[in-house]
Amino acid sequence: MALDRLTGDTSMIFIKSEQFFDWARARSLWYLAFGIACCSLEGLIAASGPRFDFDRHGVFFRGVPRQADVLIVCGTVNYKMADIVLRLYEQMPDPKWVVSMGACSNTGGPFREYPNVFLGVDELIPVDIYIPGCPPRPESVQYAFLQLREKIYAQTEERLDARRSRD
């Protein structure tokens, strides 16, 4: 058997280890403790309390962007806030994901008529999951994390398929 069959980037060892690391990543999604407006009370504070118990999904908050995998944008993103959101996003290490929580960060929500408000945080940074509602319930945030997990698995397979078809 050729050596690259054992050690190349399409080898069983390499593929299985990559699947394993992405599986581990998807089950320990740490989000940044950062809130802009009222959604943060529902999305971050209530959700991380004992009633909804996010810890059982491996979802914890972290106080610094360098230790976070997920940025939950919860609240109205206005022009004044844009630099801060962008800086926090850029300080997070790859791979990283963004959840847009609530009508305000999805579309500007009730404040969309104001000239200083972004009509969605996706004008600023790429968004992986959108949560509708004003405010969304903590259960919706939990569901978003489950969807994000599925997305990570799907991205792994997509990446590995592309590599397999290259050979």
Q: Which residues bind ligand SF4 (CB under 6 A)?
A: 37-39, 75-76, 102-104, 109-110, 134-135
Q: Which is nearer to ligand SF4, 59 or 141 (CB)?
A: 141
- Burial bucket for residue 120 (CB in 10 Å: 0-12, 13-18, 19+): buried
Q: Which is nearer to ligand SF4, 102 or 138 (CB)?
A: 102
Nearest-approach distance from CB 165 to ligand SF4, in angstroms? 42
Looking at 19-137, which runs of residues are DSSP E strands? 30-32, 60-62, 70-74, 97-101, 129-131
Q: Phi/psi class of residue 108: alpha, beta or left (left: φ > 0; alpha: ψ in -120 to 50)?
A: left
- Spatial distance between the Cα atoms of 38 and 135, rounded to a whole number of angstroms: 8
The tokens describing 149, both together, are 């997990």
- Spatial distance between the Cα atoms of 164 and 9, rounded to a whole number of angstroms: 9
Nearest-approach distance from CB 112 to ligand SF4, in angstroms? 10
Q: Which is nearer to ligand SF4, 100 or 156 (CB)?
A: 100
Phi, psi of 74 (to 5 degrees): -125, 105
Nearest-approach distance from CB 38 to ligand SF4, in angstroms? 3
Q: Which is nearer to ligand SF4, 29 or 72 (CB)?
A: 72
Nearest-approach distance from CB 74 to ligand SF4, in angstroms? 6
Q: Which is nearer to ligand SF4, 39 or 127 (CB)?
A: 39
Nearest-approach distance from CB 110 to ligand SF4, in angstroms? 5
**Inter-residue contact 112 to 141 (CB < 8 Å):** no
